[in-house]
């Protein structure tokens, strides 16, 4: 992979991470920008996926405004409908991405060099995913993280404002836990020595999202939540973080920086 490709992955990932964390829309979901990337999206699955995911922060922002005095009474239905439409686009992306089958194999976690020895010996997630190539792993991680964030938001809206049947609750629960589990099954691949610091650094945000899901899911997911917390601390890039472990919570400094800056940001 070229250094320029890695830079694009890091940059786009940063934009998504800020949008997800701040629950604020990005300038990159504008019709003008999406028109620019439309041609590349037809042949590049990463660009196509990013064009879908970049629309999620706006849905989160709209969700947070529901119930405010200036919010139209139809906005709840509109947000749910738009979320479902975007989810369908994401499902179609995955179907096309896996046209010839999944781009990973399920393997014993022991085959992931040094993970059990140096990061976490607990076989909470086993087997794990061995991606066919680096960029496939990146795409999957972004997809699973983004779907977990968006679908959790949609599920919360439906559960709060609609009456869901027990079967519907079960289906939603399976879907969301499936995304979180898939994120965790991807972590050992990205923590291998040969993938370098780029992969290790890039997998930590999805890991935090999965951990937050398990935490909110209650005691039944405690073992998985603890696995995420342990891996997060031991998989961090040396020298990039402060020595004292920090809580797995949204970074307040990032939030303050964005809030004090321009109202619109990329």
pLDDT digits (tens, 9 = 90+) for 207-235: 999 999 999 999 999 999 999 999 998 88
pLDDT of residue 266: 45
pLDDT tens string 74-117 = 999 999 999 999 999 999 999 999 999 999 999 999 999 999 99
For residues 129 and 104, the answer to whether their CB atoms sit within 8 Å is: yes
pTM of the model: 0.85
Q: CA-CA distance, 265 to 104, in Å (whole number)?
A: 35
Q: CA-CA distance, 139 to 137, in Å (whole number)?
A: 5
CA proximity to 192, closest of 101, 125, 129: 129
Q: CA-CA distance, 231 to 187, in Å (whole number)?
A: 9
For residues 218 and 178, the answer to whether their CB atoms sit within 8 Å is: no
pLDDT tens string 105-161 = 999 999 999 999 999 999 999 999 999 999 999 999 999 999 999 999 999 999 999
Q: Which residues neighbour 14 within 8 Å (Cβ) at sequence distance 6 or greater?
A: none
Q: CA-CA distance, 177 to 201, in Å (whole number)?
A: 23
């Amino acid at each position: 992979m070229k250094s320029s490709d890695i830079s694009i992955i890091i940059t786009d990932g940063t934009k998504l991470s800020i949008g997800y964390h701040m629950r604020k829309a990005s300038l990159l979901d504008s019709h003008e920008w999406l028109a620019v990337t439309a041609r590349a999206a037809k042949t590049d699955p990463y660009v196509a996926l990013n064009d879908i995911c970049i629309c999620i922060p706006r849905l989160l922002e709209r969700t947070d405004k529901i119930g405010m005095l200036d919010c139209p009474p139809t906005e709840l239905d509109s947000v749910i409908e738009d979320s479902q439409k975007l989810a369908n686009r994401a499902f179609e992306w995955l179907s096309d991405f896996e046209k010839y089958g999944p781009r990973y194999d399920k393997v014993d976690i022991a085959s992931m060099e040094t993970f059990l020895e140096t990061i976490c010996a607990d076989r909470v997630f086993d087997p794990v995913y061995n991606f066919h190539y680096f960029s496939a792993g990146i795409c999957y991680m972004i997809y699973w993280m983004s779907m977990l964030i968006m679908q959790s938001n949609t599920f919360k809206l439906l559960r709060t404002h609609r009456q869901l049947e027990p079967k519907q609750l079960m289906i939603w629960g399976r879907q969301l836990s499936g995304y979180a589990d898939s994120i965790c099954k991807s972590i050992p691949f990205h923590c291998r020595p040969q993938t370098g610091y780029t992969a290790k650094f890039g997998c930590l945000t999805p890991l935090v999202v999965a951990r937050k899901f398990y935490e909110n899911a209650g005691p039944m997911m405690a073992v998985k939540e603890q696995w995420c917390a342990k891996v997060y601390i031991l998989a961090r890039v040396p020298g990039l973080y402060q020595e004292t472990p920090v809580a797995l919570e949204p970074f307040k400094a990032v939030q303050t920086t964005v809030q004090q800056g321009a109202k619109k940001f990329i």
